[in-house]
Amino acid sequence: MKQKRLTDNNLFLKNLFTIALPIILQNFLSSLVNMLDTIMVGQLGHIEIAAVGLANQIFFVMTIVIFGIASGGAIFITQYWGKKDTDGMLRSTGVMISASIVVSIFFFFSATFAPEFCLSIYSDDQEVIVKASPYLKAVAPCYIFTAVSLAFGQALRSTEKVKLPMIATSVSVVVNTILNFILIFGIKINGTQIIKAYGIVGAAIATVISRIIECIILLSFAYAKKFEIAANPKRWFKYQPGFLPRYLRICFPVLINETLWGFGNSLQNSIYGHAGTDIFSAFSITCTISNLVWTFFIGCGNAAAILIGKKIGEQQHEQAQMLAKKLTFFMAISACFLALLLIPLAFSLPFFFKVNPEVIHMARVFLYMTAVLYPLFAMNMCLVVGVCRSGGDSIYGTFMDIGFMWILALPLGFCAVKFWGLPYWGIFLCIHTEDIFKMTMGLIRLKSGKWLHDVTVD
């Protein structure tokens, strides 16, 4: 019995990490380049860090909306993948990519023609807004390429083609890092300025170039390797009666979920921004550092969705439920250990960021508090992304994910800044009250088994 349990656990870990590791590495590299961006921009000062962090909120909201579209599409693609229904996978991919492009075009025009208005939503510090506006306008052209990469990459991952998105991101990270160094600081040889220093605008140009390269690699290699998703685009829009209403019924709640979660998360950042530029700078540094470790749970959460969705598509419902429980427990235990990595990272902050000691102190406290809450964050990631979405339980998942954010966390955070005058750590605690309630709702749903639905059947 012990030998069988050990074999089952080894198989479980092998299946999980075969899919999760490339996703973890991909997200780690993306987070690493974001950290390098912040470190390089941090050499210019804390105002510049706040400016880039502020401008990136627009990009963040866009990617969250597109992630919602892609996550909804992935529910169908993973289950069709389990059934080996290629036409179903392609129809889902077509809707996913076209909707993502439409969203990116809207954000491109908003960032290009109304940057000051967009930025004023998150901060009333005019010095920060003035510095952030040129960066936002310069980085906007990458939005459309990013949309295609996110949607197409999600389709590839849903069919267990996880290595190509990782490779494309790896090349993009290397290009972005090199161009950042060159374009932010410029190059001088023997006192002669060979390449002009563009400051934070240079970071935006580097991002645009790297995103274009990532998109080209993703598409060209997928078609060269003749992956299932890389078919004639006409097949993406092959009509089937009843498919689109069924698709929208399942995917629309996920889209609403990610959109409202993205706006809510962005408003949380706005709360920090209105609390003060130093606090916002500290929080930006914290997010940059924490995301390096959090990539493990992004990878595991997405892998969980693929594995569970495939089991549902194969009609192995009992195994899908057992797998969901095991994955949730695994992520919670992993978070207890990986949270410890945030402590040495907190002590390393003065070596990477040239900001005043007060900002460093606040960032450290934020990191310590984040470490304590990591198990809650990890369980919620698995319950929302890995369990509810893969099982087509998108309405319950949406309520669980955003209900407490808008009903509890945002009002408390707003009151903490505007009326109660709480310190930065008090604001943080108010905003994260939602996670306890979200976890409770998720565990109740997991135990009930009511989250499991086969969305490929009318």
- The per-residue pLDDT for range 291-344, each reduced to its tens digit, is 778 888 888 888 888 888 888 888 888 888 988 999 999 999 999 999 998 888
Q: Is residue 338 part of a domain?
A: yes
- The per-residue pLDDT for range 191-209, each reduced to its tens digit, is 667 778 778 888 889 989 9
- The per-residue pLDDT for range 148-200, each reduced to its tens digit, is 998 999 889 888 888 898 899 889 888 988 898 888 888 877 766 777 877 88
Tell me how far apart the alpha carbons of residues 65 and 60 are, in angstroms, rounded to a whole number. Answer: 9
Q: Is residue 43 part of a domain?
A: yes
pLDDT category of residue 371 using cuts at 50, 70 and 90: very high
Domain that holds residue 140: 2-448
Q: Is residue 25 part of a domain?
A: yes
Count up the domains in the chain and report the number: 1
Name residue, tokens 């069988």. Answer: 4
- The per-residue pLDDT for range 228-269, each reduced to its tens digit, is 888 887 787 776 767 777 777 777 787 787 778 877 887 888
Q: Is residue 454 part of a domain?
A: no
Q: Is residue 455 part of a domain?
A: no
pLDDT category of residue 213 using cuts at 50, 70 and 90: very high
Q: Is residue 458 part of a domain?
A: no
The model's pTM: 0.71
Arithmetic mean of pLDDT, 23-33: 75
Phi, psi of 390 (to 5 degrees): -65, -30
Q: Is residue 442 part of a domain?
A: yes
Tell me how far apart the alpha carbons of residues 296 and 375 are, in angstroms, rounded to a whole number. Answer: 13
**Can you give the pLDDT at residue 214?**
93
Phi, psi of 401 (to 5 degrees): -75, -40
DSSP-based helix, strand, coil % in the chain, nearest 5? 85, 0, 15
Q: Is residue 453 part of a domain?
A: no
pLDDT category of residue 212 using cuts at 50, 70 and 90: very high
Arithmetic mean of pLDDT, 42-60: 76
